[in-house]
Structure formats: C-alpha cells, structure tokens
C-alpha cells in the first residue's frame, strides 16, 4: 500500500510536471526601434554582442518605406508594407475619404480597418493554441478578427524600459499553463534619441548602453526562473544624420494648398487634391537635384511598394541625408532620420537570434526583414506561410 502511494505521489507530483514544462523555450521578439546594424560594433552593448556571438547575426534590410509602423508589421506578418496594409506611419485610403491614419492619432491607429490586410504572428499563434503576450508592438493593441494576444497593453511611451522588462519577466514567472509561448517587447529610446541628437551622438551611445543593460536583465531574469528563451532581437530600420543645410522645400515647387502631404521627411507621399492633379504632377515629376519623384506605379520594382491603394499618388524619395519639407518643419531637421530608400546602408537594421532553436556563431549576409516572421514560425513549430513575402530559406542559416 505504501509503495502504491509513493508511486502515485511520484507520478502525480505537480513539481515534476512543472519542472518539465519549465524547460519549454519561450520565443521572445525584442524590437529596438532605430538600432542601426552597425551600432552593434560600437563597443557599448556588451550583452547584445555576447548574444550575437552565441547565436546568429547579420545586417537586415528593412522594407520600404524605412519607417516604424510598416516595418514592425512586416516583421510579424512576413509581408512587405504594400501587402501588409501598413504602407506608412501616416496613410490615407480612398475607401475612407477625409481620414488620415497616423501613429500619433489613437482614434485611427487603433481601428482594425487599417491592420486587417495581413495576419500578425500573435494571432496565428493564438489560433494554433500558443499563448501570446505583447509588451508593446505596433498593431498588438488592435483586435484581428475579434482575437487579441492573451496579454497586451495599450502603448504608452512613458512606461520605462525597466517596467517593460519587469512586466515580461512577470509573464515568464507564471505557471506553465498561463505562461506565454510567444512574447514581444519594444524599446523606443534609441530611435527617440537618434532623431534628436543624430546617430553619431554620445546620447545615442548612452541609449544603446541602457537598452543593452535591460536586455541583460531580461536574459538573467529568465535564466534565474529556469525558462529558456529563443530570442529574436531586431530593429525596424537604421538612422542617418540630417541637417538644416540639406532641405528640399516643396513650397518652392508647388502651392501647398494643391496637395495633401501624407508624409514628409526622407520621403514624401503626396496626394494631389482632386482637380489640381496636373499642376502638382507637372511641378514634381521632373528631375530635381536632391530627390526623385515618380508616380506610385513607376517606383523601382525592388521597393515592392506602390500597388496598395493606400500609397499616395506621387512619391518623392530624398537623396540620403536630405529632408523633404512642405512648409515649416514639425520638429527640428538637424539630428537623425529614417524613411530613405531601403538600399541605403545606413537604413540597415539589427538582427540577432539566440537560443536553443538557433545556430551558434552563424553570420548571415544581408537579408530582407520579412524573413523574420518565417524564422519565428519555425522556432514556434508553426508551418511556413506560403503566401508570405519572406521565406525561411533566406534565414535558414540562423536555424539550428
């Protein structure tokens, strides 16, 4: 009898079950906004450098436009902005006349209408029975077909990086049954400081060191809990120095009242107001010294952008380091910016994959960021999405 009880206790003990469960790796996607690929070589990010050495790394080409929302959505959908529907940080849509989507306008930015053209990975995972949790990521606050991550938070830039990491560690501390299998975390500080002070500033180096320390705390925290992590650490784009001396003022070319400037900066998305099309086109669709303007259907094929109805009629792309303005700038031009042609080496973004699913010491050649979704799916045991723009083959070297 005693023997039977002992055997039953051994079989049924929750400790044995949870110890086994605790070994199941959690896939964590870390986004460091504006972490240019070569920032990793500055010697100010020891924890990231060691993760890169222990895992797979290489420069990653962002999608065009090299802006925050289009690229964050490309990373989690495997589709480029033209096909994921987030074609810019600001957008208009002929099906929503008079309305502008913009990252700062919560009323529009949280409307599922804008986000429903491609399925983000947290939805695919939830539907496959993998619990997900998002400590910020563009699009994660929006219900997709009525589904959301099991845990998610409304974006608030004032939540400190320490708080973000602590929240994620709290999720990892949960019992296996309610612990996420896939989680995201997002840091904006490197981008914020990069805009304000420029990519070569001591302020950027300080921001890099701070985020590096936070990621170190996340790695150490998970190790202490005995939860293995498959970490995929990425940026959405790089950063390039800008200056007031390198400005293209659209006011000198065409009357501001004749078009809507959907976006300006390293590229401009220009929608002529009905009835003035000719005037705007005549002024813009000619050679300019420091920018190239084309109709959306004439953009170079390699940009894979322009067929979505949300892309404005005329697109001007500035020469690297130049800024296109329509009227007075909304923020100081001098500093740093992104949004340039994705062939610009200074737009290249950070990529590191480290954990039991990934190869050790692999160095990847430049690859397109849409492949990251395929890599994450592989780490999560989900089948490859044949409809995605990114292919697992492009990042196979990162997999164990």
Give which of Zn ion, ligand AMP, none residue 188 binds (C-beta under 5 to 8 Å, depending on kind): ligand AMP
The residue (of 57 and 369) whose beta carbon lies closer to ligand AMP is 369
Element housing 324 (H / E): strand 323-325
CB of 70: closest distance to ligand AMP in angstroms?
A: 9
Count of C-beta atoms within a 10 Å radius of residue 143: 13
| 34: region left, alpha or beta (phi > 0 left; psi from -120 to 50 alpha) | left
Q: Mask of contacts with ligand AMP, 196-215, x by CB under 6 A? A: --------------------
- Give residues 333-372 in contact with Zn ion (rule: CB under 5 A): none
- Give residues 216-275 in contact with ligand AMP (rule: CB under 6 A): none
Only segment of 65-73, 149-157, 252-260, 295-303 that touches Zn ion (CB under 5 A): 65-73
The residue (of 71 and 124) whose beta carbon lies closer to Zn ion is 71
Choose, by CB under 6 A, the member of 108, 166, 192, 258 that binds ligand AMP.
192
Q: In the 3-class helix/strand/coil scheme, how is 198-230 assigned residue by residue?
A: CCCCHHHHHHHHHHHHHHHHHHHHHHHHCCCEE
Q: In the 3-class helix/strand/coil scheme, how is 295-321 assigned residue by residue?
A: EHHHCCHHHCCCCCCCCCCEEEEECCC
Q: DSSP state, 381?
A: T
Question: 3-class SS at 26?
Answer: strand
Cβ proximity of 194 and 241 under 8 Å: no
The residue (of 78 and 238) whose beta carbon lies closer to Zn ion is 238
Cβ proximity of 45 and 212 under 8 Å: yes
The residue (of 8 and 106) whose beta carbon lies closer to ligand AMP is 106
Choose, by CB under 6 A, the member of 82, 117, 151, 191 that binds ligand AMP.
191
> What are 282's two structure tokens?
């005549």
**Closest residue to Zn ion: CB criterion:** 68
Site for Zn ion contains 236 (CB under 5 A): yes
Residues lying near Zn ion in the complex (CB under 5 A): 33, 68, 191, 236
Residues lying near ligand AMP in the complex (CB under 6 A): 33, 67-68, 89, 103, 136, 138, 155, 157, 188, 191-192
């Amino acid at each position: 009898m005693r023997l039977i009880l002992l055997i039953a206790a051994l079989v049924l003990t929750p400790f044995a079950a949870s110890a086994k469960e605790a070994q199941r790796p959690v896939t964590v996607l870390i986004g460091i906004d504006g972490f240019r690929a070569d920032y990793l070589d500055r010697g100010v990010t020891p924890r990231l450098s060691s993760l890169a050495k222990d895992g797979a790394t290489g420069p990653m080409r962002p999608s065009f436009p090299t802006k925050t929302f289009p690229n964050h959505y490309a990373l989690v959908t495997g589709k480029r902005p033209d096909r994921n529907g987030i074609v810019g940080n600001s957008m208009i849509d002929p099906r929503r006349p008079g309305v502008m989507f913009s990252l700062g306008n919560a009323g529009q930015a949280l409307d599922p209408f804008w986000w429903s053209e491609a399925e983000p990975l947290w939805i695919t995972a939830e539907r496959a029975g993998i619990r997900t949790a998002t400590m910020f990521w563009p699009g994660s606050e929006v219900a997709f077909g009525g589904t959301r991550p099991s845990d998610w938070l409304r974006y608030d830039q004032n939540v400190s990086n320490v708080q973000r990491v602590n929240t994620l560690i709290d999720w990892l501390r949960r019992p296996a049954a309610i612990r996420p299998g896939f989680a995201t975390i997002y840091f904006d500080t490197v981008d914020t400081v990069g805009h304000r002070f420029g990519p070569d500033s001591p302020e950027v180096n300080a921001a890099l060191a701070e985020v590096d320390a936070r990621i170190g705390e996340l790695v150490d925290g998970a190790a202490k809990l005995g939860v293995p992590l498959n970490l995929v650490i990425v940026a959405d784009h790089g950063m390039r120095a800008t200056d007031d001396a390198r400005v293209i003022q659209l006011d000198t070319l065409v009357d501001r009242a004749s078009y809507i400037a959907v976006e300006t900066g390293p590229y401009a998305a220009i929608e002529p107001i009905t009835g003035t099309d000719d005037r705007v086109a005549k002024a813009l669709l000619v050679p300019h010294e420091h920018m190239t303007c084309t109709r959306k259907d004439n953009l170079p094929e390699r940009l894979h952008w322009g067929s979505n109805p949300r892309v404005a009629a005329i697109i001007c792309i500035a020469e690297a380091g130049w800024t296109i303005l329509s009227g007075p700038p909304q923020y100081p031009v001098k500093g740093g910016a992104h949004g340039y042609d994705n062939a610009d080496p200074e737009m290249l973004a950070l990529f590191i994959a480290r954990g039991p699913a990934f190869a050790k010491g692999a160095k990847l050649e430049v690859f397109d960021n849409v492949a990251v979704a395929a890599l994450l799916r592989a780490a999560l045991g989900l089948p490859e999405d044949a409809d995605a723009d990114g292919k697992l083959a492009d990042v196979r070297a990162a997999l164990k």
